[in-house]
Amino acid sequence: MTTTLSSAAFAISASSFAPLKAKRHGNSASFYSQNNPLSYSPLSTRPSIPRKSFWVRATVLQENEEKVVVEESFPPKTSPDDVGKGSGNEPPESSSLERWVIKAEQSVNIFLTDSAIKILDTLYHDRDYPRFFVLETIARVPYFAFMSVLHMYESFGWWRRADYMKVHFAESWNEMHHLLIMEELGGNTWWVDRFLAQHVAAVYYIMTVLMYVISPRMAYHFSECVESHAFETYDKFIKAQGEELKKSPAPEVAVKYYTGGDLYLFDEFQTARAPNSRRPKIENLYDVFLNIRDDEAEHCKTMKACQTHGNLRSPHSYAEDASEDDTA
Ligand SMILES: [Fe+2]
Ligand SMILES: [Fe+2]
């Protein structure tokens, strides 16, 4: 069963590379692919084929990777509203079996997310900051779950993609700062909220690791659903409380994170944008929540793009490629 699901999940990889237009990124792709030409099939054992054959496969993989263009992975109109509406995560040339598997995965994810939202709505309908604290504690879990699995694959030599590790770390760094902001606002004051958030996070971590091993596409889609809910939550909040929020000061941790000196990691998680293209102004609490909401929208876009195998690159790697092209 596991093998079947895994095969179905990764079967889209070859076709998903094909329709994307060419852009040259030879250096970074080759650096991480030379010793790891295996396709993304972590549950299979490493085939005992001669080293020369590895090099042939590596060349094919690199050529395909060069066709990935980040702008095409993140159409400007990509929106959290697209979640669960057949919004095009399906590869264009997928078989009916693949489409069925994708639909089944997404249906399970949407059911799980909707159920969790109903529980949160019941427990936290009149306590905004504790709700945000719980949400942010949970929201950062998938990123270190992805990193845990990728670390394991790296150790075994099955999969080495520095861009995935960098972007997922930057995403978890961003979510950690959302959490610190909620703590500074008093969201973690009650013991029961901390108990609930931390225990749900532990269960969610185990669930995400298992899901990511079986189907990375499903795990990324589930995370997209969670991020979409976070976006909607903050969007409703700033629309309902906007005037009050404008009269309140911004937490110090938010000012430091959004306007501090080194914004490399802030740019790194926003894979739909060029580095330095977003520099928030934080003058009050409204600005803080506006930017947290916008962060969640960026997370949605990244999680959506990740559902196509091999579709993720660090935004900084595009800048590096451009400067290399200029000096060439
Ligand atoms: Fe968040
Ligand atoms: Fe998020």
134: its two tokens: 């719980």
State the distance from the centre of ligand 1 to the C-alpha of 134, rounded, in angstroms: 10
Tens-place pLDDT, residues 16-42: 333 333 333 333 333 233 333 333 333
How far is residue 178's CA from residue 269's CA, in Å, rounded to a whole number?
14
CATH number for the domain harbouring residue 285: 1.20.1260.140
Residue 214 pLDDT greater than 90, yes or no: yes
Q: Map residue 229 onto helix, strand or coil.
A: helix
Predicted confidence at residue 313, as pLDDT, reads 86
Q: What is the mean pLDDT of residues 165-191?
A: 96
Residue 63 pLDDT greater than 80, yes or no: no
Please indicate, yes or no, if residue 219 is contained in any of the structural domains. Answer: yes
Tens-place pLDDT, residues 278-328: 999 999 999 999 999 999 999 999 999 999 888 788 888 876 666 665 555
State the distance from the centre of ligand 1 to the C-alpha of 97, rounded, in angstroms: 34
Q: What is the mean pLDDT of residues 160-182?
A: 94
Please indicate, yes or no, if residue 186 is contained in any of the structural domains. Answer: yes
The domain of 170 spans 106-327
Please indicate, yes or no, if residue 130 is contained in any of the structural domains. Answer: yes
Please indicate, yes or no, if residue 296 is contained in any of the structural domains. Answer: yes
Please indicate, yes or no, if residue 16 is contained in any of the structural domains. Answer: no
State the distance from the centre of ligand 2 to the C-alpha of 201, rounded, in angstroms: 14
Residue 199 pLDDT greater than 80, yes or no: yes
Tens-place pLDDT, residues 92-148: 566 888 889 999 999 999 999 999 999 998 999 889 999 999 999 998 999 999 999
The CA-based angle 258-259-265, given to 5 degrees, is: 55
Predicted confidence at residue 50, as pLDDT, reads 38
Predicted confidence at residue 58, as pLDDT, reads 32
Please indicate, yes or no, if residue 121 is contained in any of the structural domains. Answer: yes
Listed in order, strand segments (DSSP E) in the chain are none
- Percent pLDDT > 70 in the chain is 68
State the distance from the centre of ligand 2 to the C-alpha of 25, rounded, in angstroms: 29
Please indicate, yes or no, if residue 67 is contained in any of the structural domains. Answer: no
State the distance from the centre of ligand 1 to the C-alpha of 137, rounded, in angstroms: 8
What total of structural domains would you count in the chain?
A: 1
Give every CB contact of residue 23 below 8 A, 6+ residues apart in sequence.
66, 67, 68, 69
State the distance from the centre of ligand 1 to the C-alpha of 141, rounded, in angstroms: 11
